[in-house]
Amino acid sequence: MARGLGKGIGALFPTEAIDNLQTNEDQIEKIDLQKLVANPFQPRKTFEDDAIEELAESIKEHGIIQPIVVRKKGKKFEIVVGERRFRAAKLANLNEIPAIVRNLTEDQMMELAILENLQREDLTPIEEAEAYQSLIEKLNFTQEELANRLGKSRPYITNHLRLLTLPDDVRELVNTGELSMGHGRTLLGLKNKRRITEVAEKVIKHGLNVRQLEALIKQLNEEVSRETEKPVKKDIFVQATETQLRDYFGTNVQIKKSKNKGKIEIEFYSEDDLERILEILQLEE
């Protein structure tokens, strides 16, 4: 699935520093790798080791063809564009790397880092969503405006942003590829949001595909609907019996009746509490 920008960096951010990120007049410097630090606005959280190793082998054979872009920060240089090349250069045991030094504000640096990564095709769905969220918050775009600027549909943007409402541990499962974006979107349909992590773990354990997960979510939501149906008011005799049973067992007891059947629920809060109740019922071996 291609994620390239529809109108390019210049169309999206027509500022001089961004339009002229790299020109024929640029001075390419050799910078010590020890002086380089990662871009704090880097949207990419995961770097595949195999891809970095492959790039490192290419660098050993052909050198670094395209310089990275950095900005001066104190005695160090922050990487604006080219962190993969920087990591691969370290792996290739280089001491220096060709770089173009740019004077950029933090806003411009963030914009460039996000846009450069959005033009690549290997961002995870979570990283892509976080990039969109950063652009919306920093530049005050609506989802509609951002979609138009990037040449995407609004549902495409919205579906990615919705992933950010997943619990952190489930977001990480999507980020590492253990769950697909389809799994993540389907999990958001669960009515009982507190069970999302539990269900996500079940998906991984049993290798459920998205269609199977949809069926499971439907079943769980139907159970929630039944549980939240308006309770029938209990008659005075049932309430009195519940009170007697609560006093007898020393815990909460509920009597639930339907048209043709009923059940008694006795709550316990620990293994010891369960053993105590079983002793009362004389069921403990």
Active site positions, annotated: 83
Asked if residues 187 and 196 have their Cβ atoms less than 8 Å apart, the reply is yes
C-alpha distances in Å from residue 165, one per residue of 97, 169, 185, 204, 216: 39, 11, 10, 20, 20
Task: Give the distance, in angstroms, between the CA of residue 245 and the centroid of all CA atoms in the same chain.
Answer: 47
> Nearest-CA neighbor of 197 among 223, 211, 179?
179
What gap in Å lies between CA 149 and CA 11, rounded to an integer? 8
Q: Are strands 96-101 and 68-73 parallel, antiparallel or unpaired?
A: parallel
What gap in Å lies between CA 147 and CA 35, rounded to an integer? 38
Question: Which residues have C-beta within 8 Å of that of residue 122, sequence separation ≥ 6?
Answer: 48, 51
Asked if residues 115 and 5 have their Cβ atoms less than 8 Å apart, the reply is yes
Question: Which residues have C-beta within 8 Å of that of residue 144, sequence separation ≥ 6?
Answer: 154
What gap in Å lies between CA 9 and CA 111, rounded to an integer? 9
Amino acid at 120: R
188 φ/ψ angles, rounded to the nearest 5 degrees: -65, -15
